[in-house]
Structure formats: C-alpha cells, structure tokens
Amino acid sequence: MQSDERLRDEATEQVAGSNGQLVTRRVGELRAHPSYVRHGLAVSAAQLSALEERGDLAFQDPVLITTDGTVIDGYARWNLARWKGRPTLLCRECEPNQTESVQMLIRTHRRLNGFNAFVRILLALELEPFFKERARSNQRAGGQKKGSSSLTEAERLDVRSEVAAAAGVSVGNVTKVKQLKVTAHPEVLLALSSREISIHRAWLWSKEPSHKHLAELRRHRDNRATHKIKRLVSRHKPKSVADVVDPSVVVRRLAGLDSNELAAVSVRVVKGPGKAIYLTKDLLQSLQPYQEQMPT
C-alpha cells in the first residue's frame, strides 16, 4: 500500500504541477468528481482497510483537489477521513478546466490498484468531443472542408488514438468498449467495471444475441466458483468453529426460499474427500433474516 501511495504522489506532483498549493480543507466541503459519480466508482473495503492500518500516516500525503473542492486523487483518504469523523484534510489545490480534470482523474488512477482498463476507457470517452473539436480546428486551420463538421476516416481514427492514449490502452480496446456500451447487458458492464471479466471476453459475448449475455456471465462465474471450490476442498481445514455452519440449518433455510430465489442458485458437484457443503457469501447472505443465527 505504501508503494502504491508513493506512485500516486509522484503522479499527483506531475499532474498538479508546481502551481498547485497546499491548503487545509474541511472534509465536508469536498465532493467527488462528476465522472467518478456518473460511472459508479468507489473505493474498495480492502483499500480502506489497508489504509487504516497506517494510522495517522494515512493522512500525511495531500489529497489532490480542484479549487471548488472536487477530489481528483485521494478518494481512499477522503473516505477514511469521513468514516473516522476527521474534520480537515491536507490538500493540494489546482485549477484545471473540465477536460483537464477528467484527464487528471485518469492519469492519477492508472497505477497498481487504480482504475482498470475498462473504467479508464469510459472516462477517456468523455474526452471524445474535445478531441473531435480539436481535429476539426486542425482541419479548418489546414484549409480543408471549411465550415464542415464531419471528419475524415483518418481523423476519426486519430481521435480514437487520442482516447486510447488518454486511457493508456490499445485503440482496439477503445473500439470494443464503444461497442459494448451499446450492446452489452448492464450486468456485464458491471462485471467489467469490477475486473470480473476482460474487455475481450465481454466483446466476444456481445456477438451473441442479447439474451445469451447473462447466460455466458453466469457460466463464467460458475466455472470460477467451481475451480475455487476444488482448491478449497483440496486444502480446507476449518480454522475455528466460526468456519463451520450447521448443515441442518442450511438445508432448512434453503427449503424456505421461494422458486425465484432458488432459480438463481447454481449447484455444482466437485470431486473431493469427505462429505461437505460449500456456500458462497452471496448465498449465505440470501438466507437472511436467518443469517444472524449462523456463524460467518
């Protein structure tokens, strides 16, 4: 985590430049970047937990913000400060315009535990109008198609290259994500954002009829769960009583689910020693309000 923070600090310095000034701002005055909110981005519990372990050192590095209090980088520190009721935060303040702020948001989250390629492309696609207008300006400056609002194929490819460069990905992946935004099921888009599947895998699924997208995602999840269970069966030894759930309770609660809830439950048989039932966390949580009767 510490090396991750150092990389973030270096990127923050490069992006904010020498004009960024250190200020102390009230935590409640800060707000998330509109693009961060629009795409449903969030800090993971694991990131917050790792940051919390650093104690007061977690807040020694400044949060990168704009002059109006929009957070560019340092979301984990900001969220932790709110959670702990911390009144103020050290911030580095800069004055980017709207386009520059999106570019900064992408650049400061391109490392280690930052945004994945799919999320970076979504953010970079918000810059597409800016890149198109710049291409048109270059076109007019060159005396080509004066007054025209259309771009040549070469110029459209150049715009896509600009988007790819901003996101730090290949042009091919930008093309795939543009298609996925139109064709993919919302559940598949969520799986892409959470790193559950790759852009290429989702793009291959998108070639199938839309009703098959969820079936492919479910099959993918089942396969991953099966492999995970096999590894668990091969080496699992309960560490404590809390790792064990009474099978009679599980069976009774499963029997109490309605037909729609049961339809969402996948059953897989795996080879392994002994007799055991393995539950996913999602399934265990679906057994509420009886879950509190079971150790977790």
The DSSP result for 17-33, as a single string, is -TT-EEEEEEGGG-EE-
Q: Could you tell me which of 155, 160, 195 has the C-alpha nearest to residue 178?
A: 160
The whole-number pLDDT of residue 135 equals 83
Q: What pLDDT is recorded for position 80?
A: 95
Residue 283 — very low, low, confident or very high, per pLDDT cuts 50/70/90?
A: confident
- Average pLDDT of the chain is 82
Sequence-ordered strand ranges (E) for 68-177 = 70-73, 88-94
The answer to whether 180 touches 206, Cβ cutoff 8 Å, is yes
Confidence grade of residue 232 (pLDDT, cut at 50, 70, 90): low
- Mean pLDDT (whole number) for 193-211: 91
Kindly indicate the confidence band of residue 244, based on its pLDDT and cuts at 50, 70 and 90. Answer: low
Q: Are 33 and 71 in contact (CB under 8 A)?
A: yes
Please give the Cα distance from 61 to 74 (Å, whole number).
9
State the Cα–Cα distance between residues 166 and 130, nearest whole angstrom: 12
DSSP 88: E
Cα–Cα distance measured from residue 30 to residue 198, given in angstroms and rounded to the nearest whole number: 33
pLDDT at 289 over 60: no
Nearest one of 32, 53, 34, 54 to 43, comparing CA atoms: 32
**pLDDT recorded at residue 266:** 75
Per-residue model confidence (pLDDT) at position 296: 40
- pLDDT tens for 253-280 read 888 788 777 777 777 766 655 577 777 7
Domains of the chain, each with CATH number or no CATH: 2-107 (3.90.1530.10), 117-207 (no CATH), 216-293 (no CATH)
**pLDDT digit string, tens, across residues 150-187:** 777 777 778 999 999 999 999 999 999 999 999 999 99
Q: Say which residue, 112 or 48, is predicted with more confidence.
A: 48
- Structure tokens, 64: 């990168």
Q: What is the pLDDT of residue 293?
A: 46
Spatial contact of 270 and 233, defined as CB atoms under 8 Å apart:
yes
Q: What is the pLDDT of residue 12?
A: 46
pTM score > 0.75 for this model?
Answer: no
Among 37-41, 186-190, 210-214, whose mean pLDDT is lowest? 210-214
What does the pLDDT read at residue 274? 58
CA-nearest of 290, 192, 189, 198 to 246 is 290
Residue 81, pLDDT score: 95
Cβ neighbors of 208 (< 8 A, separation 6 or more) are 216
Band of residue 233 on the pLDDT scale cut at 50, 70, 90: low
**Residue 251 to residue 265: CA distance in whole angstroms:** 13
Nearest Cα residue to 296 out of 250, 253, 244: 244
Of the candidates 161, 117, 116, the residue with the CA atom closest to the CA atom of residue 135? 161
What pLDDT sits at residue 168? 93
DSSP 62: P
Question: From the DSSP assignment, how many helices (H) and strands (E) are in the chain?
Answer: 15, 5
Q: Which of 106-115, 231-240, 243-252 has the lowest mean pLDDT?
A: 231-240
Q: What is residue 235's predicted lDDT score, i.e. its pLDDT?
A: 63
Helix axes 153-167, 117-125, angle to 10 degrees: 130
Whether residue 251 has pLDDT greater than 60 = yes
More confident residue, 10 or 156: 156
pLDDT recorded at residue 180? 95
Residues 96-131 pLDDT 10s: 999 999 999 999 998 667 899 999 999 999 999 999
